[in-house]
Amino acid sequence: MAITPAALQDALTQAAEVLKSQRIEGLFDTSPDRASRYRCEAAGLTLDFSKHQLDDDAWQALLTLSNTQALPAAFASLIGGEMINTSEHRPALHTLLRGTVSDQHPEKSEAVEDTLARMAVLVDSVHSGETTGSSGQPFADVVNLGIGGSDLGPRLVCGALQSEATPLKAHFVANIDPDDLDSTLASLDPETTLFVICSKSFSTEETLSNAERAMRWLQAGGIQGPAVGAHLIAVTTQVTKAGDWHIPPERCFPLWDWVGGRYSLWSAVGISIALALGWQSFQRLLDGAHSLDMHTHAASPADNLPMIMALLEFWQTHYLGADTHVVLPYSQRLAHLPDFLQQLTMESNGKRVSSSGEPLAYDTAPVLWGSAGTIGQHSYYQLLHQGTRSFSADIILPLRSGEGDRDARRALAAHALAQSRALMVGRTLEEARQLGAERGFDKSACRQFELPGNHSHSLVMMDAITPECLGALIAAYEHKTYFLAVLMGINPFDQWGVELGKIIAGQMQSVLSGTDSEFKIDPATLAAANAWRAANTD
């Protein structure tokens, strides 16, 4: 099965062959207005995609593809609540959580509104000091216990929008490794700590294990019996299960099966955001995502920011041979963005069969990686500039830089733009020879200074790291991921691949605790299990 309909396959393949041998700077020479034409603005974001190996023929073919593959209609199906999660027979209505086309879903919308209202009441009451810990002291810390989609989104947002606006400091614990919870709790006081047990399924081992340990920590701190409930909030589709933990009903917030875990930060999963940053910030985050939804719904493919992002990655991955996509936010506050995007894109689109189960003859999601600039410049950028791997990249640059040392902020922006330029221009052999000669290298050794450049990448500018821009940025990546799934013919809303490891982990627990000697495992795993047991017999 070809990834692209036959009529466009030849056009795109031929365009790629031509472009592979051309320099991106050369494309600026032949098309001087390229910087303004290959640019798209929406909801406080600007996507500059002029530094891609892309010309008008290829771009027109990609835009035709977006219509042939009915991307605009696919977006209408998403927000319209069609059963696009075919393997789980559900819609994927995360856009409704930010009010997008809510009139099309009156009942669900009422449930969303009701939950938001209940969240706002609790958040306000915690901030005002009306809702307190069991001893009457106001809360000072909120600890989110969740993993995957029940962790990464709120962690990203709280890291990006740190604020002094509320008395609460947010902490995130995801790992079943007790060091994660223990090191977080070490400086906290049980009397003033509020836990959010965040789990769509309320059956995830890591989260439940941490929640049990957190309860024991509260009890050890002198908070006994039902008083523990005053320190807990639950967010889940399994509200009854949360009740078994003695969490009062007004502290249990529902989630719905029509929201995928990695698309859930806009739901009550985001309550730690509202607690740490204030209700208004959470609302503004939703507003930013909603604006981006409306843009995506209304804009034609040529002006549609997430659709363009998807078409670019499709082009890079399937026609120009990129096998990784690196995300480089030039902002320490966006340091968690690559982690969040790893789950969003790789759990969604790391698939090997089509929505109908047909094996795919092409690669799906590229590996996504990255970290906050400038740190990577002193580690893996060497590979970007001189390695043999082919990649595409997003450099993310907030324009209004905010508070803090102005000179340092200018230097940060200079590095972002410098890297963007260096990735494009590289260093020619002639320049390398000249530099090498100046440094006393012989002619052949001078090639060590040569940098091929010509690395396609986008520059994603945000007006500033405001809740609105951040909401829009996250929504843009969500829709990009969905459009790519449509182009590749896969279902981005399930994740069957994660199940096997969980089943075997249960069996391995029995092996490690010595309760199951019947379980047949390979000799290598058995040897490692025996080594662990030997090291842990006390």
Told to judge if 378 belongs to the known catalytic residues of this protein, a careful annotator would answer: yes
Question: 392: how many CB neighbours lie within 10 A of its CB?
Answer: 23
Residue 154 contacts ligand F6P per CB under 6 A:
no
Measured from the CB atom, is 60 or 203 closer to ligand F6P?
A: 203
Site residues (CB under 6 A) for ligand F6P, limited to 481-510:
495, 498
Residue 210 contacts ligand F6P per CB under 6 A:
no
- Write the CB contacts of 462 (distance below 8 Å, at least 6 apart in sequence): 44, 45, 396, 397, 398, 399, 469, 470, 473
Strand partners, 47: 40, 460
Report how many residues bind ligand F6P under the rule CB under 6 A: 14
CA-to-CA separations, 70 to 76, 315, 343, 456, in angstroms, rounded? 10, 17, 26, 26
Measured from the CB atom, is 200 or 295 closer to ligand F6P?
A: 200
Strand partners, 45: 42, 462
Told to judge if 108 belongs to the known catalytic residues of this protein, a careful annotator would answer: no
CA-to-CA separations, 309 to 31, 279, 493, in angstroms, rounded? 21, 31, 19
Told to judge if 385 belongs to the known catalytic residues of this protein, a careful annotator would answer: no
Using CB under 6 A, which of 132, 162, 201, 324 touches ligand F6P?
201
Instruction: Spell out, one character per residue from 325 to 364, where the chain touches ligand F6P: x when CB under 6 A holds, - when not.
Output: ----------------------x-----------------
Using CB under 6 A, which of 147, 157, 174, 322 touches ligand F6P?
147
For residue 397, the one-letter residue type is L
Measured from the CB of residue 362, what is the shortest distance to ligand F6P in angstroms? 24
Using CB under 6 A, which of 251, 262, 290, 295 touches ligand F6P?
262
Question: 118: how many CB neighbours lie within 10 A of its CB?
Answer: 17
Stretch that binds ligand F6P, among 145-153, 295-303, 403-411, 462-470 (CB under 6 A): 145-153
Residue 327: in which H helix or E strand, if any? strand 324-329
> Roughly how many angstroms between the first and final C-alpha of the chain, as a whole number?
57
- Angle between the 56-68 and 305-318 helix axes, to the nearest 10 degrees? 110
Residue 109 contacts ligand F6P per CB under 6 A:
no
Using CB under 6 A, which of 85, 131, 204, 342 touches ligand F6P?
204
CA-to-CA separations, 452 to 369, 390, 424, 431, in angstroms, rounded? 22, 11, 9, 12
Stretch that binds ligand F6P, among 10-18, 81-89, 143-151, 376-384 (CB under 6 A): 143-151
Residue 200 contacts ligand F6P per CB under 6 A:
yes
10 Å CB burial of residue 359 (0-12, 13-18, 19+) is exposed
Measured from the CB atom, is 144 or 207 closer to ligand F6P?
A: 207
CA-based Rg of the chain, rounded to a whole angstrom? 25
Residue 72 contacts ligand F6P per CB under 6 A:
no
Tokens 């216990």 identify what position? 145
Per the residue annotation, which of 191, 206, 313, 347 is the catalytic one? 347
Residue 149 contacts ligand F6P per CB under 6 A:
yes
Residue 90 contacts ligand F6P per CB under 6 A:
no
Residues classed as catalytic = 347, 378, 502
Residues that bind ligand F6P (CB under 6 A): 147-150, 199-201, 204, 207, 261-262, 347, 495, 498
